[in-house]
Amino acid sequence: NCAFGQCVYREDTFQAAPCSLTGPPTLLTGGINAAGWISGVFFDCEGYRHPFWWDGSFMHVVALPANRPHGAASDINTSSQLVGSMWNDFTGSSTHAFVAHRGVITDLGTLSGDNPLAGPTTAMAINDLGVIVGSSGAPPESLHAFRWENGTMTDLNVSLGPLSEAFDINNRNEICGFMGSSSNARAFRWHDGVTTQLSDLHSAAYGINNHGDVCGFYSERTPNGLSVKAVLWSADGRQIEISGLP
């Protein structure tokens, strides 16, 4: 059942056929690696979700363990390690993060261990070193950003709470995400235990490249209503609004 451990999984090469009532199955993409391989989620004809990766020619659907047979893949690295989240729509079991590679799927566990009150654990990104980031539920009713490496999940312990999520990691193990609360979030960059807040406004950071440049958004109230701006926070400390539309 892959409870906090490893098990062998089946991977099926798949070409989606139309569903009899709903037409072509729905596919949503998650991440892409340097080879152009894509991760994502496949909705079967009954509406259940399954992780997949696409190698440029074929779609490979990963069959998850029986206790958490439903899921989605969010990222894939150059070694074809696939990360995502898995759950059970039949029983309502808690969501766990996973990494799948060469026929083995690993349940990443949670920051709270076997605590039944722990919330969902999701894996959002993996770098080419195999380091994974995401978020894990921590009672009472909070999420904490984590870093997972070689079987160990570590709380980033960012400087604001009670909520934090990590969305991306580069090959220098720099991580970005948000911290604070759902209504008062702050974008951050994290490296070697040091958290850098990127904005004083409501914000979140979603992507980081190997130079340390971070992309995301910030929002603020103006006399004309809520203004939301796409932004680049450069590695040298500049904040650059992404614009150009009329």
Separation CA 243–CA 154 (nearest Å): 37
**Mean pLDDT of the region 137-164:** 90
Separation CA 146–CA 126 (nearest Å): 12
Least reliable range by pLDDT among 34-43, 107-116, 159-168, 174-183: 107-116
Residues 79-121: pLDDT tens digits?
A: 999 999 999 999 888 899 999 998 889 999 899 877 766 789 9
Nearest to 163 by CA among 150, 146, 145, 149: 145
Instruction: Say what the pLDDT of residue 245 is.
Output: 57
**Each residue of 171-195: b (16+ CB within 10 Å) or e?**
eeebbbbbbbeeeebbbbbbeeeeb
Give the residue with greater pLDDT, 39 vs 17.
39
**Mean pLDDT of the region 178-206:** 95
Separation CA 59–CA 236 (nearest Å): 40
4 has pLDDT over 50: no
* DSSP single-letter state for residue 71: E
